[in-house]
Copies of this chain bind each other. A is one copy, B any other.
Amino acid sequence: MNCYPQSLERLMAELAKLPGIGPKTAQRLAFHILDRGPDAANRLAEALNEAAAKLGECPVCFHIAEEGHCALCDDKTRDDSVLCVVESSRDIIPIERSGSFHGRYHVLGGLLSPMEGIGPAELHLKELLKRLEDDTVTEVILATGSNVEGEATAVYIADLLKPLDITVTRIAQGMPVGGDLEYIDEITLAKALAGRREF
């Protein structure tokens, strides 16, 4: 069916490559973009080109960064003695939003997953060990997710850091705030019970 001009078909095809966007949504987005006029489309295009050109990884913590060090590594007010290890850049926002952490980050760039061929060499572990060499860091918080890969990666790193004189901690598992006992899965409940604290 050749109802649409080629450049529109191409735009829809490119949009449909995005996650969670099927052909129908791609069509809706394309029409919306065109309805807003060429300026809006060009602005989005410019933002894409700029992001593609400027963004890379921070050479220290591997957080997403623009030309050089990231804002978090540059921030002089943060605590150098605590290092929070996360899977990806995406995980930093929720931690920052919680307002409960003011140390430094280290982005692994993935999680151990033999099924997908991701071993220790694929993660930024050598760089993590290098950052721990000068004894500035006294605590490493393992903040990978609570899924199988996140757990396995945390256990692996804890083992790796055992020879060093550094406290290694893991973020707590338990009931999410606002969670109903009735609807919580039994494994989470078991973790919540095991991790109970004195009131």
Write the residues of chain A forming the contact surface with B, with a CB cutoff of 8 angstroms: 1-8, 10-11, 13-15, 17-20, 25, 27-34, 37-55, 63-66, 70-72, 88-90, 92-93, 96-97
Contact B18 A29 (CB under 8 A): yes
Add 8 more A-B contacts to A1-B93, A41-B49 (CB < 8 A).
A3-B63, A6-B66, A15-B44, A17-B44, A19-B29, A33-B51, A37-B52, A42-B48
Task: A96 to B10: give the CA distance in the assembly, Å.
Answer: 19
> In the complex where A3-B71, A51-B11, A51-B41 touch, is A31 in contact with B90 (Cβ < 8 A)?
yes
- Report chain B residues within 8 Å CB of A37: 52
Contact, CB under 8 Å: A49 / B53: no
User: In the complex, A63→B96 CA distance in Å?
Assistant: 48
Distance of A71 Cα from B1 Cα, bound (Å)? 10
Interface pair A3/B96, CB less than 8 Å apart? yes
Q: Do B54 and A7 touch (CB < 8 A)?
A: yes
**A29-B19, A52-B41 given as contacts; is B92 within 8 A of A7 (CB)?**
no
CA distance A39 to B14 in the complex (A): 12
Partner of A10, one of B19, B39, B50: B50
Nearest B residue (CB) for A46: B45
Q: Which residues of chain B are within 8 angstroms of A49 by Cβ–Cβ distance?
A: 41-42, 45
Contacts of A29 in B (CB 8 A): 18-19
What's the Cα separation between A94 and B13 when bound, in Å?
18
Closest approach, in angstroms, between the C-beta of A20 and any C-beta of chain B?
A: 7
Cβ contact within 8 Å between B92 and A8 = no
